[in-house]
A and B are shown apart, each in its own frame.
Chain A
Amino acid sequence: MTAIASNDTARLQHQRGIERWQLPLAVVAALVVGFVITAMVSDEPWRAYLALTTGALPDIRWSDAHGWEMRRWVRFGSVIEDAITLTFLGLAVAIPFRARQFSLGADGQMFLSALAAAAVSLYVGGPWFVVLPAAFAAAVLTGFAWGLVPGVLKARFGANEIVTTLMLNLIAVQFYRLVITQVMRDPTAGYLVTPVLPAAALLPGLLPRTNVTAMLFLVPVVVVAAGLLLSRTTIGYEVRTVGVAPAFARQVGMPVGRAVVMSMALGGAFAAFAGLHVSNALLKRLPVDLSPGMGFEGLVVALLARNDPKAVPVAAFLYAYLRTGAQAMERTTDVSREVVLVIQAFIILFIVSERLLPTLVPRKFARWLGRQPKGDA
C-alpha cells in the first residue's frame, strides 16, 4: 500500500508505457506456444494458423455478376455473438476482482439467469414491452441474488469464496438441469430442451442468418454503467478501496463487508446479461446440456482487460475472434479447435507472471489477492 506513494509519477508513466506493449506481447507469446504445439502434431501448421488468425474475418470479393460482395457474415456474426456473451462474463469476473474477491461464480449465475429469463419469457405472456423487461428484471435479480450468496458467506462467515463459488456453480448447474428435465421440458422435442421462447420475448435480430441481436446496443450501455459504477458511486469507491488497500478501508471505517458482498452480487448481475443473451438471443430455447465453463472464459477476458470495464469489450472481441477462427481452422485443417484453449491458458500464465514480464501488471495482482510473492524472494 505504501508502494503507490513511494512511486514517483515518472516511474508510473514509464510503467504504463511498457505495459501497453507487454499485453500484446503476452498474447503473441501464447500464440507462438500454441503454434509450436500445433506444429508438433499437424502436417500443415502454417495453413492452420492462417485459418486461426484470419478465419473469423468476413470475405470481401469482387465478382462481375454481383459487384462487391461480403461473404461469411455468419462466421463474423458468431464472433460478435460470442464477444457479447464474453463481455458480460468479463464484467462479471472483473467487478469482484476489483474488490480482490476471487469469485468464480459467473458460470452458475449465468445458468440460473438464463433459466429465469427463459421461464419468464415462456410463462409471462404479452407483447414485447411487457415480456422483455420482465425477463431482464428476472435475470438480473437472479444473478444478483446468486452472487449475493458467496458474498454473504465470505463477509459473514469467512467462507473461502473460491470454494463456495465453485460449489454454488455445481448446485446451479444441477438445479438448471433439474428444472429443465422436470418442469420446463418440451414434450414434443426429441431431446431434453425447453419449448422455443415466444417471438415477443426474443431480441430483434440485426444481421440476417446470425444471432446478432439488439443486445449489441446494450453492450456499450452496460459497459459504461459498469465503469460509472466503479468510478462514480460510493459503492464503487468502496469496492476499489477494499481491493487496493483493505487495511486502510478498515481503518477509516469503511463497510468492508458490504463492499465484498456488493462486488460479488453486482458481478452476478452482469453475468445475468450473459445468461439472458444465451437464452433470449443465441439459443432461443434452453437445452439441458448447455455446457458449463464459460465463466472461466470470462476470467481470461477480465485478465486481458486488467479488470478495466472499458477494456473488457476489446478483450472479449479478441478472444471471440480467436475462438471463431479456431472453428474455421478445425473445419479446414487437421488441427482441432481445442488449441485455442492451450493458447488461452498461456495468455493467462504470461499475463499473471509478474517476474516473467516484470512490469506487466506489477504488484496489482499481488495486492489484489494479498499474495505478495511470499518469503522466498
Chain B
Amino acid sequence: MSADSVAILTLVATLAVAVLRAAAPILLAALGGLISDLSGTINVALEGLMLIAAFFGVIASVHAVQWFPGLAQWIYPWIGCAVGLVAALGFTGLLAIFHLEFGADLIVAGIAINILAAGLTVFLLVALVGDKGSTAGLHSPALPSIQIPGLAGLPVLDTLLNGEGGAGHHVLVYVAFMSVALLALFLSRTRYGTWLRAVGENPQAALGAGIPVKRVRYVALLASGLLAGLGGIYLSMGYLTLFQADMTAGRGFLALAAVFLGARRPLGTLGASLLFGATGVLATQLGAFEMPTQIVYMIPPFVTICMLVFAGRSLAGSGRRPSARISNPTEPDTTTRSSA
C-alpha cells in the first residue's frame, strides 16, 4: 500500500470515527425509543431524559468526591453514571405512572417531562452551581475510553478502533453499538422480546394470551429511559466533560425520528442514527468551507420526511388507504381496521 492511499484511508477512518461518536448518543436514545414504541407506548420524553441523566451524572460525579472521600479516582465517574441513570429511570417512572396508572395521554405527558427536564436542570444548575449556562467551573470527570493495544503498526485500523489520537473509544460508544445486537437478539430470540412486540401489536390479544401487558409496558418504558439516560451521560461525561443547558440540542427528537426512519427495526434504527451522526459531522466539516451549516442541518429532517412519505406510498400500494387513518399510525388502530 502506498503512503498516499494510507493517508486517504486514515482520513476516511478519522471521519468514520467522528460519525460513530456523533451517532452514539442518538443511537442509544433511539434504541430506547424503539423498545418503547414496539411495546405500544412510545416514549417522546427521550430528549428530556437525556438531559436529566447528563445533568445528574455530572453533578453526582463531582459531589461523590465529597460524599465518599478516599475512593480511587476512577470510581467517581461511575458513581455519577449510576446516579444519572437512576435519575433518568426516576423520571421515566414518573411518566410511566402518570400514563399507566393515571391515564395521562402518553404523548402529552412525554412532552411535559421534556419541559420538566429543561426547566429542572437549569433551575438546579443555578441553585447548585450558581451558573445558568454550564458546569464548566466544576471540572467534572469523564467515563474511561477503551484503548485496544498493539495496533501501532496498522495506522488505518488504529485510527478506526482507537480514534485519531489513539486514545480509544469511549466506553459508551461500545455500549451503544453492542446494544443494537443485544436488542435485536432480545426482540427476536427471547420470550420477553416476543411479549414486548405482542403487547405493541395487539394489547387486547396479548392480555387474552396471559401476557402482563401493564408490566411489559412498565419495563419497556423504563428500559427506554435507561438507554436515553446512557445517551445523555455520554454527552456530558464523554463527548464533553461538562453539562450545558439544553446540551441535547434536539438529539432526543432526532432519536425519535430515527425509530420511524429505521422502520422500527434495530438495524434500521442503527442506520438512521448513523445518518443523523454523519450529517452532524458533515455540518462541522462544511463549516470550514463557508457552506452554510443550516443547509446541512436541514438534511436529516428532510430525509426523515421523505422516508415517511416513501413508507406511506408503499402502504397505499398495498391496498390500504392511508387517508383513512386518523389516529397515530404507531398505535394499533382498531376503528380503522374494523371499518376499512
Instruction: Identify the closest chain B residue to A341 (Cβ).
Output: B119
Q: Can you name the residue of chain A whose Cβ is closest to the Cβ of B325? A: A158
- Cβ–Cβ < 8 Å partners of A345 in chain B: 112-113, 115-116, 119
Q: Which residue of B is nearest A373, CB measured?
A: B103
Cβ contacts A149-191/B at 8 Å (1 or 0 each): 0000101111110111011101100110110011000000000
B136 interfacial contact with A, CB 8 Å: no
CA distance A66 to B40 in the complex (A): 66
CA–CA, A169 and B95, complex, Å: 25
Nearest CB on A from B72, distance (A): 31
User: Interface with B: A3-11, A55-63, A220-228, A349-357, which one?
Assistant: A349-357
Q: Once the chains bind, are B120 and A338 in contact (CB under 8 Å)? A: yes
Contact, CB under 8 Å: B126 / A338:
yes
Say yes or no: A336-B123 contact (C-beta < 8 A), given A153-B305, A260-B326, A371-B105.
Answer: yes
Task: Please measure, in the bound complex, the distance between the C-alpha atom of A86 and the C-alpha atom of B240, giving whole angstroms.
Answer: 36
Question: Considering residues B115, B301, B338, which has the most beta carbons from chain A within 10 angstroms of its beta carbon?
Answer: B115
Nearest residue in A to B256 (C-beta to C-beta)? A163
B309 within 8 A of A: yes
C-alpha spacing A370/B337, complex, angstroms: 13
Give a binary string over B211-238; 1 marks a CB under 8 Å from any A CB, 0 the rest: 0011001000000000000000000000
A232 interfacial by beta-carbon distance below 8 Å: no
| Chain A residue nearest in CB terms to B117 | A345
Chain B minimum-CB-distance residue to A347? B112
Is B12 in the interface zone, CB < 8 Å from A? no
Q: Which of B111, B315, B333, B339 contacts A296 (CB 8 A)?
A: B111
Residues from chain A with a CB closer than 8 A to the CB of B323 are: 155-156, 158, 256-257
A167-B257, A371-B331, A374-B40 known; A296 vs B101 contact (CB < 8 Å): no
B294 partner, pick from A174, A303, A339, A341, beta carbons under 8 A: A174
- Chain B residues near A299 (CB-CB < 8 A): 108, 111
Q: Is the beta-carbon distance between A164 and B308 smaller than 8 angstroms? A: yes
| A interface secondary structure, majority | helix
Beta-carbon contacts of B282-322 to A below 8 Å, as 1s and 0s?
00000000001011011011101100110111011000001
B122 interface residue, CB < 8 Å from A? yes
Bound CA–CA A345/B123 (angstroms):
14
Interface presence of A344 (CB below 8 A):
yes
Which one of A168, A182, A336, A374 contacts B132 once the chains associate, using CB atoms below 8 Å?
Answer: A336
Distance between Cα atoms of A100 and B327 in the complex (Å): 7
Given the interface contacts A178-B292, A370-B326, does A336 sit within 8 Å of B127 by beta carbon? yes
A354-B103 contact given A42-B127, A344-B119, CB 8 Å threshold: yes
Residue B107, interface by CB 8 Å: yes
Closest chain B residue to A343, Cβ basis: B119
Measured CB to CB, the closest approach of chain A to B230, in angstroms, equals 22
Contact status B104-A354, CB under 8 Å? yes
In this assembly, does B204 line the interface, its C-beta being within 8 Å of a C-beta of chain A?
yes
Q: Does A369 reach chain B (CB closer than 8 Å)?
A: yes
B73 within 8 A of A: no
Q: Judging by beta carbons under 8 Å apart, are B301 and A167 in contact?
A: yes
Contacts A157-B312, A348-B109 known; A162 to B328 CB distance under 8 Å?
yes
A246 on interface, CB distance cutoff 8 Å: yes
Measured CA separation A345–B109 after assembly (Å): 8
Q: Which residues of A contact B123 (CB under 8 A)?
A: 37, 41, 335-336, 338-339, 341-342
A175 touches B298 (CB 8 A): yes
Interchain CB contact (< 8 A) of A160 among B98, B128, B204, B330: B330
Inter-chain contacts of A155 with B (CB < 8 A) = 322-323
Q: Binary interface profile of A, 295-337, with partner B (CB < 8 Å = 1, else 0)?
A: 0100110010000000000000000000000000000001110
Q: Give B120's nearest chain A residue, CB to CB.
A: A342
User: Contacts A37-B123, A158-B315: A356 and B104 contacting too (C-beta < 8 A)?
Assistant: yes
CB-based contact B304/A246 at 8 Å: no
Q: Assess whether A355 is in contact with B308, with CB atoms less than 8 Å apart.
A: no
Q: Which of B100, B113, B305 contacts A376 (CB 8 A)?
A: B100
Q: Give the distance in Å from the alpha carbon of A181 to the alpha carbon of B292 in the complex.
A: 9
Complex Cα distance, B103 from A365, in Å, reads 10
Q: Could you give, for residues 247-269 of chain A, a 1 whenever the CB lies within 8 Å of some chain B CB and a 0 otherwise?
A: 10011000011001000000000
CB atoms of A41 and B127 under 8 A apart: yes
B339 near A250 with CB under 8 A, answer yes
Q: With A and B bound together, what is the CA distance between A373 and B213 in angstroms?
A: 12
Contact of A178 among B120, B294, B330 (CB under 8 A): B294
Cα distance, A346 to B308, chains bound together (Å): 33
Q: Which residue of B107, B109, B250, B304 contacts A349 across the interface (Cβ within 8 Å)?
A: B109
- How far is A355 from B102 in the complex, measured between Cα atoms in Å? 4
Kindly state whether residue B260 has any CB partner on chain A within 8 Å: yes
- Residues of B108-145 at the interface with A, using a CB-CB cut-off of 8 Å, are 108-109, 111-116, 118-120, 122-124, 126-128, 132
Query: Could you tell me which B residues sit within 8 Å of A by CB distance?
Result: 40, 44, 98, 100-109, 111-116, 118-120, 122-124, 126-128, 132, 199, 203-204, 206-207, 213-214, 217, 250, 253, 256-257, 260, 292, 294-295, 297-298, 300-302, 304-305, 308-309, 311-313, 315-316, 322-331, 333, 335, 338-339
Kindly list 19 other residue pairs between chains A and B, CB separation below 8 angstroms, not including A158-B315, A251-B339. A41-B124, A153-B308, A153-B312, A156-B323, A157-B311, A157-B312, A159-B305, A159-B311, A159-B329, A162-B107, A163-B260, A166-B257, A182-B292, A247-B335, A247-B338, A338-B119, A354-B102, A355-B101, A371-B327
Which A-B residue pairs are the 9 nearest by beta carbons? A341-B119, A157-B312, A158-B322, A375-B203, A370-B327, A345-B116, A167-B301, A354-B103, A353-B102
A-B contact pairs, 7 of them (CB 8 A): A157-B312, A293-B118, A335-B123, A348-B115, A356-B102, A369-B107, A375-B206
